[in-house]
Amino acid sequence: MSRVHVAVAALSVLSSLAYPAPFASASTLPTLSGAYIFTGHRVCQVAVTVDYANIKGVNNTSFAYEVTGAPAANTVGVTAGSFSFTQKAGAAGTGTVFVSETNVSGSPIFITSSAPGGVFFDGSAIKSQLQASVGPFKQTATTLSVNGSPNYNIYYGKVTNGIVQTATVAGVDSSGCAEELTITHN
């Protein structure tokens, strides 16, 4: 066997390990069931507008006179919490999920400007918030949606007796922010 054939065979084996095939059917779909803990990150793009003006008496010289951020952007956050998944009988991959979490988020860029009339802020201070909710979930071989969220890509890790032990979830939320979660079965 030539070196090229050995290299192609090795790449074929490695790619099958790195990118496993999707699960063939709902009956082979590993299920999210029971209690899990999770950690995650959320990042929203920083959209900044800079307005320029010319300086009187100085030719062809502009300066920034106003810098503002877009509303709801300019946010980063971390989250930690727990999921409790209950599969619906006879409907693999659907059911109810209870979510309990702590979100810590705020603006990585917090602009303070002083102008005639007062001091103005653009952005939000970092704060911590506890949240709990109950709602539906739906999972497929490649996606997960919780409480009506958009479909996130899910990558299953260890599976024991058909129950997901670890998974990673990533996607774009309804606000256009990137989110990632790592899930571990209790």
CA distances from 173 to 49, 57, 143, 150 (A): 23, 49, 13, 6
Q: Is residue 64 domain-resident? A: no
Q: Is residue 163 domain-resident? A: yes
What per-residue confidence (pLDDT) applies to 72?
Answer: 58
What per-residue confidence (pLDDT) applies to 166?
Answer: 97
What per-residue confidence (pLDDT) applies to 69?
Answer: 64
| Amino acid symbol at 13 | V
Domain of residue 152, residue span? 19-45+73-109+125-185
Q: Is residue 139 domain-resident? A: yes
Domain with residue 132: its CATH number is 2.40.128
Beta bridge partners of 38: 81, 183
CA distances from 184 to 147, 163, 169, 181 (A): 19, 11, 11, 10
Q: Is residue 24 domain-resident? A: yes
Q: Rounded to whole angstroms, how far apart are CA atoms 152 and 139?
A: 9
Q: Which residue from 37, 35, 21, 25 is spatially nearest to 155, judged by alpha carbons? A: 21
What is the CB-side half-sphere exposure of residue 147 using CA atoms within 13 A? 12
What per-residue confidence (pLDDT) applies to 74?
Answer: 79
Q: Is residue 8 domain-resident? A: no
User: pTM for the complete prediction?
Assistant: 0.72
Structure tokens at 103: 């979100």
pLDDT means per 10 residues in the chain (186 residues)? Answer: 42 41 60 97 83 73 68 83 95 94 89 72 86 95 90 95 96 90 96
Beta bridge partners of 164: 159
Q: Rounded to whole angstroms, how far apart are CA atoms 77 and 128?
A: 9
| Coil vs helix vs strand at 27 | helix
What per-residue confidence (pLDDT) applies to 182?
Answer: 97
Q: Rounded to whole angstroms, how far apart are CA atoms 109 and 79?
A: 19
Q: Is residue 66 domain-resident? A: no
Q: Is residue 152 domain-resident? A: yes
Q: Is residue 172 domain-resident? A: yes
Query: Cα dihedral sign for 133, 34, 138, 173?
Result: positive
Domains held by the chain: number: 1
Report angle CA 147, 151, 155 to the nearest 5 degrees: 110
